[in-house]
């Protein structure tokens, strides 16, 4: 059963009509509401942060101020491919670094509608290859939430096809696995999802895809290869439309004899694991445990 805090969040999301936020942002052509493109002071106070540019876009390397472990996370933020970091991302990074003494590389990759996936991959390909040449595969984790989760899985698939080493783990948080949103189960879940609106997502996906068909695996990694990848773990909520494709990915993996660590939390909404709910704290600890014992 969902916590009281989670139930209140559902009510709040409906009251503010969160489901139509993305659609409204397309209407006015402005996508930087609620973004936090630089680490807030509270994170800078506890971490060493290095910022540099790759293809004109920021890449942040965040480390503990004291002793650093060998674990290195490449994190791709969510935001429907049109929005940058949110404050919740930085807080999550701070928690991971405090708990794991790890290093996190967080690129602010090119975003739609100004750019398409081609520019995003053009930035991420060399960054991934640089990191995987510097960090042992056993200590390298690829992680992302929402659009960043889909991007992370697609990047791992592309790197596999290019015969690059795989990360030890691929951790997907409420991933957007299929830009087409064509899974018929989505329509059944849509009425109970107070967060994600299909129309807004469709517009974002179309902008990110450019002239490429949205079912291409670099856009919809559910259509890409699952063989030969790092160990996949997936966290999702039962009250988000993206759970339909999360369940489909789990079934596809099982049909191929590929084990997928699957965590579906009842009554949770999109990217709930980055919030401060009781369920979020439990999921964060599970993520930390996964990385610690990899």
Nearest-angstrom CA–CA distance, 245 and 136: 31
pTM: 0.97
pLDDT tens digits, 279-289: 999 999 999 99
- CA-CA distances (angstroms) from residue 44 to 50, 70, 97, 123, 249? 10, 21, 12, 25, 37
One-letter-per-residue 3-state SS of the chain: CCCHHHHHHHHHHHHCCHHHHHHHHHHHCCCCCCCCCCCCHHHHCCEEEEEEEECCEEEEEEEECCCCCCCEEEEECCCCCCCCCCHHHHHHHHHHHHHHCCEEEEECCCCCCCCCHHHHHHHHHHHHHHHHHHCCHHHEEEEEECHHHHHHHHHHHHHHHCCCCCCCEEEEECCCCCCCCCCCHHHHHHHHCCCCCHHHHHHHHHHHHCCCCCCCCCCCHHHCCCCCCCEEEEEEECCCCCHHHHHHHHHHHHHCCCCEEEEEECCCCCCHHHCCCHHHHHHHHHHHHHHHCC
Does position 44 have pLDDT exceeding 90, yes or no? no
Q: Which two tokens stand for residue 249?
A: 């990915």
Q: Is the pLDDT of residue 93 over 80?
A: yes
Give 152-201 pLDDT, tens digit per residue. Answer: 999 999 999 999 999 999 999 999 999 999 999 999 999 999 999 999 99
Residue 213 confidence (pLDDT): 97
What's phi and psi for 85, nearest 5 deg?
A: -60, 150
pLDDT on residue 34: 86
**pLDDT attached to residue 70:** 94
Banded model confidence at residue 1, pLDDT cuts 50, 70, 90: confident
Render pLDDT for 122-152 as a digit per residue (tens, 0 to 9).
Answer: 999 999 999 999 999 899 999 999 999 999 9
Phi/psi for 226 (5° steps) reads -105, -15
The torsion region of residue 101 among left (phi > 0), alpha (psi -120 to 50) and beta comes to left
């Amino acid at each position: 059963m969902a916590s009281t805090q989670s139930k209140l969040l559902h009510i709040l999301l409906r009251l503010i009509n969160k489901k139509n936020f993305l659609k409204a942002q397309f209407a006015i052509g402005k996508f930087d509401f609620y973004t936090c493109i630089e680490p807030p002071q509270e994170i800078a106070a506890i971490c060493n942060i290095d910022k540099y540019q790759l293809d004109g876009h920021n890449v942040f390397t965040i480390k503990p101020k004291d002793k650093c472990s060998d674990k290195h996370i490449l994190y791709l933020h969510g935001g429907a491919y049109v929005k940058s970091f949110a404050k919740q991302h930085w807080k999550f990074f701070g928690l991971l670094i405090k708990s794991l003494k790890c290093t996190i590389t967080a690129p602010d990759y090119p975003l739609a509608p100004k750019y398409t996936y081609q520019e995003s991959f053009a930035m991420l390909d060399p960054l991934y290859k640089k990191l995987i040449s510097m960090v042992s595969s056993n200590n390298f984790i690829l992680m992302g939430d929402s659009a960043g989760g889909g991007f992370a899985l697609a990047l791992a698939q592309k790197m596999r096809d290019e015969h690059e080493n795989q990360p030890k783990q691929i951790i997907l948080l409420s991933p957007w696995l299929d830009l087409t949103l064509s899974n018929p189960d989505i329509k059944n879940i849509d009425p109970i999802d107070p967060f994600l609106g299909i129309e807004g997502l469709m517009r974002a996906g179309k902008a990110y895809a450019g002239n490429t068909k949205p079912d291409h695996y670099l856009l919809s990694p559910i259509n890409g290869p699952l063989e030969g990848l790092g160990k996949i773990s997936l966290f999702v909520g039962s009250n988000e439309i993206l759970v339909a494709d999360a369940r489909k990915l789990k079934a596809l993996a099982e049909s191929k004899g590929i084990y997928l660590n699957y965590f579906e939390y009842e009554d949770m909404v999109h990217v709930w694991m980055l919030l401060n709910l009781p369920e979020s704290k439990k999921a964060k600890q599970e993520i930390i445990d996964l990385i610690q014992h990899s």
